[in-house]
Chains A and B, each alone.
Chain A
Amino acid sequence: MGIQIAQVIAGLVPELLQWIRGFHASSGTMPTDAQVIAQFNTDADRVIANGTAWLAKNPPTPTPPTGA
């Protein structure tokens, strides 16, 4: 029973996504060029900031100097 419900829900997902896209299109909420570019910059900045912060907290272990 649970598997059948999951299969039904899985089958509905593409239609649901299509409906959401159509709703956005009809409601005039489709993104403009400026919004897409701003979103890209925001997402890229988030990756850079999170990664940079993690790297700062986890610096590479210095390699011990080799003997002459």
Chain B
Amino acid sequence: MSRLIREIRRDLIVSAFVLIASVGSIGFAVQSCASAPTSVVTPQGQAAFKADQFVTALGVLQDSAIAANATTPPLISTADTRLIVQFCVGSAQTAKAAVTGWQAGVIQGLTSLQSNLSAAAQTKYGPYLTLLKTILAGIS
């Protein structure tokens, strides 16, 4: 019994660490989601600078989901992880294919992801997804 409690406690600590680290990283990305440096002068460069803020946050979200799924027992299910990874890959591909004008499609995908995740995953990843929306709002 005490072993079970220790395992639950360890999982909670790992979960909290992953969540804090990821939200903190995304929060930093939001903070730095300002306009491009003055050395970036072309519209393509400025668009890439902003898109990179979003892609960086996507990477944090994806890495944290994969890491949370790899724990024993998994902190999020493989089905939820698959939804998150598919969203991240699709969004990165969309942003790369069209450096400008991709935000609407990605916001739609984000809304779809939020509704398709399980209730438990929605609770865990709600802050991440909200922060992604904030970054997207800053780009649009």
Measuring CB to CB, which residues of chain A are less than 8 angstroms from any residue of chain B? 25, 30-34, 36-37, 39-41, 43-48, 50-52, 54-55, 58, 60
**Sample of 16 further A-B pairs with CB below 8 A, known A30-B37, A44-B93, A51-B86:** A33-B44, A36-B36, A36-B52, A44-B95, A47-B59, A47-B88, A50-B59, A50-B62, A51-B62, A51-B89, A51-B92, A52-B89, A54-B85, A55-B82, A55-B85, A60-B82
CA distance A25 to B40 in the complex (A): 12
Which B residues contact A (CB, under 8 angstroms)?
36-42, 44-45, 48-49, 51-52, 55-56, 58-59, 62-63, 66, 78, 81-82, 85-86, 88-89, 92-93, 95-96, 99
Pairwise interchain contact A47-B58, C-beta atoms closer than 8 A: yes
Least distance between A24 CB and chain B CB atoms (Å): 8
CA distance A51 to B93 in the complex (A): 11
Contact A58 B48 (CB under 8 A): no
Contact B48–A40 (Cβ < 8 Å):
yes
Looking at chain A's contact residues, the main secondary structure is helix
CB distance B96 to A44 under 8 Å?
A: yes
In the assembled complex, the Cα of A54 lies from the Cα of B85 at a distance in Å of: 8
A49 to chain B, nearest CB (A): 9
Provide the bound-state CA to CA distance between A50 and B93, in Å: 13
For the complex formed, measure the closest distance between the CB of B35 and the CB atoms of chain A, giving whole angstroms: 12
Q: How far is B91's CA from A48's CA once the two chains are assembled, in angstroms?
A: 9
A48 touches which one: B44, B81, B89 (CB < 8 A)? B89
Chain B residues with CB under 8 Å of A39's CB are: 48, 52
